[in-house]
Amino acid sequence: MFNKEIETMPEKKMKELQLERLKWSVRHAYDNVPFYKKKFDEAGFHPDQLKSLDDMRRIPFLTKQDMRDHYPYGLFAVPLSKVVRVHASSGTTGNATVVGYTKNDIEVFSEVVARSLASYGVTEKDIIQVAYGYGLFTGGLGLHYGSEKLGALTVPISGGNTPRQLMLIKDFGTTVLACTPSYALNIADYIEKNMPDFKIEETRLRIGVFGAEPWTEAMRQEIEKRLKIDAYDIYGLSEVIGPGVSCECSEKSGLHVFEDHFYVEIIDPETGEVLPEGEKGEIVYTSLTKEAFPGIRYRSRDITRLYHDSCKCGRTLIKMEKVTGRSDDMLIIRGVNVFPSQVEAVLMEVPGIEPHYQIIVDRKGSMDDIEVMVEVNEKVFSDEIKVLNNLTKHITDRFRSILGISAKITLVEPQTIPRSEGKAVRVIDRRKLS
């Protein structure tokens, strides 16, 4: 463990630490950010009233729209002279959400990523190839600083240029690959299509650190099989800090949340009510130590659940399930709630199917229409029409019985679905374009 004292802290002691840090963070936000003071006052809440963790539910939520409305620096709690870095999420549907970091914030960011890497069995003897994008996206620099904090040799290649990625894996003796899971599959595809003589098992690659998008257990198995590695999930949000909010351990049985820096709640996404531990809902984050940008009860829109268990790794930190999707990514098809991850889970259990698909939603008259384009392997695609028709019917039936929806299934040849060197585009919702 990177920080054994924190990672094995008894639950009661951790809650005491959280309350102490919450009092500071909430007061810091109230005193230094006019937005928070106005929101708290309107809700009839004053930081002095924070006496227990349960009092947190009296504080109003922070939303992505709030951040867009105060673009770029309106939610910062320190002067810009104290901010040493900014990151931002995509602004394709409006202003970007901008977050700032002091020197201490960067130190915390580096530490939680270093803890994450250590939890996968990464050490200072490893060579980590960071193939997340560098820049305003938090992934690249987050993994970079965390890797250096751990003491590992860090290869800052960024995303894309797959032939060079593979050359460096071989020549530099890379042992750990950090990127999105969809890009990991892209790398596997590239090897099979363009470099049949490249033997990934003859390299030193042993661990993959994947995040930035929801991915299923079936996709984990596919990546592990094709790249001959152990694949681990790292989770984070730029609005909270970036990757390193939580991570898997060697058990791969949920993600440990670093509770000394982040207070987490699960709410009903419709009512905003806090749900008991173990129930599934939307996860909400409050930063406990962030100086530049104190996020207080930030609504992530990510769907998961929180629970405690006796993890064999020895960590006592609360766990969260792998995120299954986002409440704002959920598709409502003829009254049925569908997450892209559910579609993926159905597809991945079908032999002959490749882990590349796209969901196209349209409206025909007053009815929603859904088409799922999915790649099949070369053998299946070159098979007779009868085989393809039977496979199409099988998938259609599985969608109807498991997801409760009727969908048009279109089987396409390998390499048809556009590949991504970052986050994969899984859904095209034409209803929003009309």
pLDDT at 46: 98
**Side chain identity, residue 100:** G
End-to-end CA distance of the chain: 52
Residue pLDDT, tens place only, 401-424: 888 888 999 999 988 998 877 778
> Which residues is 220 bridged to in the sheet?
none
- Computed over every residue of the chain, the mean pLDDT equals 93
CA 343 to CA 18: how far, in whole Å? Answer: 38
What is the structure's pLDDT at 11?
97
Task: Kindly report which listed range (29-33, 232-236, 345-349) carries the lowest average pLDDT score.
Answer: 345-349
Specify whether the backbone of 272 is left (phi greater than 0), alpha (psi in -120 to 50) or beta.
Answer: left
- Burial (CB < 10 A; 0-12, 13-18, 19+), residue 173, is middle
**Rounded CA gap, 146 and 132, in Å?**
13
Is residue 169 within 8 A of residue 129, CB to CB? The reply is yes
Q: Which two tokens stand for residue 387?
A: 């085989």
Mean pLDDT in residue range 173-200: 94
Quick: pLDDT tens for 358-376: 999 887 766 778 999 999 9
* Rounded Cα–Cα distance for residues 408 and 412 (Å): 13
Top-level class of domain 331-432: alpha beta
**What is the token pair recorded at 366?**
């007053």
Q: Span 371-389, mean pLDDT?
A: 89
Give CA–CA dist 387/108, Å, rounded.
55
Average pLDDT on 392-408 reads 90
Nearest to 99 by CA among 114, 91, 89: 89
Distance, in Å, from the CA atom of 183 to the CA atom of 164, rounded to the nearest integer, reads: 14
Q: What is the pLDDT, as a whole number, of residue 36? A: 98
Rounded mean pLDDT, 422-427 = 82
Torsion angle of C-alpha atoms 273, 279, 281, 284, degrees rounded to 10: 70
Determine whether 137 is exposed, middle or buried from the number of CB atoms within 10 Å of its CB (0-12, 13-18, 19+). buried
Question: Residue 325: pLDDT above 50?
Answer: yes
Give the whole-angstrom CA distance, residue 177 versus residue 227: 10
What are the residue ranges of CATH 3.40.50.12780 in the chain? 1-326
Q: Please tell me the CATH code under which domain 1-326 is placed.
A: 3.40.50.12780
**Residue 21 pLDDT > 80:** yes
DSSP-H helix ranges across 43-157: 64-69, 103-119, 138-150
For 35-82, the pLDDT digits (tens) are: 999 999 999 999 999 999 999 999 999 999 999 999 999 999 999 999
Q: What is the mean pLDDT of residues 271-287?
A: 97
Which pLDDT score, from 0 to 100, does residue 378 have?
Answer: 86
DSSP codes joined into one string, 237-252: ETTTTEEEEEE--TT-
Q: How high is the pLDDT of residue 434?
A: 44
Taking a C-beta distance cutoff of 8 angstroms, is the pair 359, 426 a contact?
yes
Question: pLDDT tens digits, residue range 217-272?
Answer: 988 999 999 999 999 999 999 999 999 999 999 999 999 999 999 999 999 999 99
- Within the chain, which residue ranges are assigned CATH 3.30.300.30? 331-432
Average pLDDT for 126-155: 96
- Alpha-helical regions (H) of 230-367: 340-348
